[in-house]
Structure 1
């Protein structure tokens, strides 16, 4: 039986594992938010970056990409890889995945999704909500082993636009980060 993995952040543009098929679509009743701290990829323990997680949101949808992995060895390799890559996310859930906004039945059931929960006892890296300005400022200044946090934000914005998704939260943060960067360049020149 095939394993399906849903990506709503960097997995959209960089799977990092072998897969048989990739579908663009969405999950229901969740929204993407930059509330998860990253101390291992896009920030450091001293200055965490911010990456996306999901929070329950009745009636909303979160667009991304689902990957189908069929071969036994590819599944094992993907799981091992994802357990390291997503280690700061404390929950793994299995959800319905849709490709058609008018569909009442999912394209795939039981798609695996990693989530960083809001429970600080289980997820020490949860940063939670802040203003667009505060989140963008943190993203602009954070950098980790995987590169600058702003690169993650801008690549996510681009990847979402490429699949036809205009995510207001992501676009507002990207626009604010660009504003901060342009002002910083003006004051240093």
Structure 2
């Protein structure tokens, strides 16, 4: 199923979300998020692929995973055991200032000892990865490293009366996930800026 997500630069060009649900192969759920593998090979490609995914019922684009707690890190580590995979952490904009591609605040990190460590070499290592051989610790890597990423897609978990996942009223969804109107507008602005880049 695909859903159009808006106009780009005032033109009729549209991107379509590929919708996923908890029952799909390779899709895992924790709380109000769905997680799945997206192809790279670079961090930038994996982030772009993540933004093309949405969840049945919410139809909000995803991002590379934002890891907010040890519980979520352990969940990712347990379900995605492919040694080195991109997460949504980057300091591409300002060296040493790590931010989540989703725009969420940084509340948790799990760097391996000595990481991040290569910010001032050329080219710099601006992109975060979770490394299963390091017990789920994080590494900073070059965008040219050719690996997959882990996407996180907002999911409300609600179903319509016929049992099929369906959309919630926007106010209910916003309250449930704690999104303010300003944050939703900021996320939409970032998504549109990505498509315009």
TM-score normalised over the length of structure 1: 0.27
Which structure's residues are more often strand, by fraction?
1
Which structure's residues are more often helix, by fraction?
1
TM-score normalised over the length of structure 2: 0.27
